[in-house]
Chain A
């Protein structure tokens, strides 16, 4: 009898099971490797978790729905319990969606849970992306994981759209009609692609079944694979942490997986699931019975797509009139191609931004300490501009509702948004950058002169002063530990030529880093402390507090020569 078996016997059932598993799948090694893995703690790290858990809820509720849903477009006469539609002709898909809602216990609950979870999935993924962007978590070595995350976001939208179209109700049918119209506008192949997708003419009898295959098989499989890659890379890189005392690029500070994160993250799964279930039980979403089955002729005013499709619909609406160009026998539908182009370029910028920024900074080091958004003013401003651009497109999807709710002219709303699409991102960029720089200056103030206490004292000669309290060294370190960049100039290469790329990189580096606020250095801090000490001893007002305004071009100690 081996020692291990002896231990197992002694430890009872649990130890026996552990021993059984270890001898077959090597569970001890896995636990040794991952059991005490450290994860940093911050509320913003939960956004990705929300997305992950929403996806699990989608898988579970979606499986339930597949047991009852029939993705067929054959026409039937409705004879179910919902009175207003009795006797109406509709597709089997729509009928089975109605039956799930009204004739299966918990069916409506699961439909609503599935829909709410989808809305939350895309929203959480989007917020998670913004968190990663604004904290610079996409920097080396995580650029590829950013692209994987981007792909997940696109897949999430695709999953949402294909699912939304399945019930074959009036609203979703109109959504498909729009997709069909967009596809037909594609040069050369448009009509053929549309014919293949719909199996002939729109709407045909195939589209729901085809979207169903994509929705329940292909898209979730891809999402699952990408999630696995996404998380696998998190394991390889270890999670980033925010800057602070003791947090460096060569360590990770936080709590161990077992037991703290098993409890926290495991518990959080139940919180997300529970909240979604609560919403599904109490808030109606997509009441398809009110819309009726799909019919190409009627439509109701003020209909809206699910929120995450809004930006694409808005782009279509914002296209100016009369963009179509006919050259000989062929039609260029620029009223469709231009919005598609704008969306594709926008998404490409998002997907490839990390590589662009890496090229500008030329920083090849690994970064595991996150930036506070204010400490990367230009990046933060670019992010704000991108969000504003997206927001204007998104508002574009509701031009009619904005006009009717606020009693405005539809034409004026549209024109305003068209102008806003170009102007507002620039405004957002400028304001955000200034706000970031000001916040950085405020941080310098606090480091050099301490926190304002609100206590005003009067000196013997009559001057009033506010007492500043020095801050704790740990708190101070949070304010001084960030990466500062300086612009470069174009330098000739080995052949003595200044290349176009070098010139471009130089001007981009000025665009990024010309306005900068350097972190407080030790020498500067010592000088400020000395000054304060002097001030207190003298107790005389003789000069304004020095260096209140941080210089635009930060003065600093000479650079350490690179090893």
Chain B
């Protein structure tokens, strides 16, 4: 490689760039220590010893043989370890097939790198690098081409064409954007967010079985994960559940600081929306002795004994409470829907 050899170690920063740029705040030292040029090449054992060269040669080939064995083994193992109902077979198949494919590939890589490092030339060479900007000739020609194109098309001269083109180009993507409107079929998303499945008289049932809950079954300190009666039969079950999920707890009325909370509950049994007012995770962790509800996603903490006010974490609003009572048979029922939208805040929430 002739052009790489014979690099003259230039002193200082001297270069043959066509264009000079300002160095800005960089200090151009007059007495910069001279560049001694590339380090002398260090001869490797494989360069000077036939024996070492032969060893390296065999090592590289050995790696490639290992790879061949690995790849063949992978195919064999694929058939030797079929998978069945026994999950242990999945483990075996994954392990043996995977490890042998890995061997097949790693060995190629290690062989190739070993080849490059021991047997291919390892003397560093230098190649000239040119400024990214085109030479003055090239730049002049580029400007000429643009001017010519402008002149031939009359792009600058023909104002009407140019401006109407801008208008057309600005408008043409809009229909494409409008086409995406039907990504939602909901004409009034903010309206939908305001209501849940809860209606007057709907029984509170257990999640996920849908068994009605008797007030007498709810003992102090126990927690029920609650869904509205009939949820499991709904075609939009998940969407409804994402709004209607409720947490039911019986508190000792003496512990509760809010009269409204007791009024909206039934004999100390209170029902709160389980959907966090931060970003909507289920607030599923209940700490009995502090009466705190904790959201496992971002640790917003709500005080169940005080209207579920936020006591910690990024949430801002208390969890909405569901008004409940019992029906003639003693089952817990809702007095109606939540009095405010549940879940994360949205722009028009209080509208």
Residues of A within 8 A of B (CB): 36-38, 41, 75, 81-82, 101-103, 105-106, 108-109, 112-113, 141, 174, 177-178, 180-182, 184-192, 194-204, 206, 210, 236-238, 244-246, 248-256, 259-260, 263-264, 266-275, 277-278, 280-282, 294-303, 313, 316-324, 326, 328-331, 333, 335-336, 360-366, 368, 399-400, 410-411, 414, 473-474, 476-477, 480-481, 483-488, 509, 513, 518-525, 556-560, 562-563
Contact = CB atoms under 8 A, between A and B. Distances in A.
Interface stretch (B45-53, B157-165, B235-243): B235-243
B127 A180 contact: no
A253 B35 CA distance: 14
Contact of B242 (A256, A296, A363, A518): A296
A202 B33 contact: no
A302 B297 CA distance: 8
B239 A248 contact: no
A103 B82 CA distance: 10
Contact of A252 (B87, B127, B225, B313): B127
Given A336-B279, A362-B22, 8 more contacts: A180-B280, A191-B346, A192-B189, A280-B98, A319-B314, A320-B314, A330-B351, A333-B345
B216 interface: no
24 contacts: A102-B87, A102-B90, A106-B93, A174-B281, A177-B281, A192-B189, A199-B184, A201-B236, A238-B127, A263-B115, A263-B120, A267-B116, A274-B106, A297-B241, A318-B314, A321-B315, A323-B314, A330-B348, A330-B351, A333-B344, A363-B22, A484-B26, A484-B29, A519-B33
Given A177-B279, A252-B129, A297-B225, A365 B23 contact: yes
Question: Which of B82, B207, B275, B297 is the most central at the interface, judged by chain A CB atoms within 10 Å of its CB?
Answer: B297
Contacts of B15: 248-250
A246 to B, nearest CB: 4
B189 A260 contact: no
Contacts of A300: 296
A271 B109 contact: yes
Given A177-B280, A264-B116, A271-B113, A254 B125 contact: yes
B24 interface: yes
Contacts of B85: 81
Contacts of A366: 21, 131-132
Contacts of B297: 174, 178, 299, 303
A83 B303 CA distance: 39
Given A108-B90, A181-B343, A204-B239, A297 B125 contact: no
Given A109-B97, A180-B344, A236-B132, A556 B29 contact: yes
B97 A270 contact: no
Contacts of A272: 109
Nearest to B232: A89
B105 A270 contact: yes
Contact of B298 (A141, A251, A316): A316
A38 B116 contact: no
A219 B39 CA distance: 45
A101 B127 CA distance: 51
Contacts, number: 426
B43 interface: no
Given A41-B124, A197-B183, A361-B26, A101 B280 contact: no
B262 interface: no
B260 interface: no
Question: Which of A109, A181, A271 is the most central at the interface, judged by chain B CB atoms within 10 Å of its CB?
Answer: A181
A140 to B, nearest CB: 8
A366 B10 CA distance: 18
A464 B285 CA distance: 70
B322 to A, nearest CB: 15
A181 B10 CA distance: 62
Contacts of A563: 20
A4 B83 CA distance: 56
A28 B154 CA distance: 41
A193 to B, nearest CB: 9
B350 A274 contact: no
A196 B38 CA distance: 62
B136 interface: no
A195 B350 contact: no
Contacts of A522: 31-34
Given A280-B98, A297-B274, A361-B25, A191 B189 contact: yes
A185 B227 CA distance: 26
Contacts of B241: 295-297
B95 interface: yes
A414 B116 CA distance: 51
B39 A105 contact: no
B189 A273 contact: no
Nearest to A108: B94
A185 B238 contact: no
Contacts of A38: 4, 125-127
A105 B83 contact: yes
A316 B282 contact: no
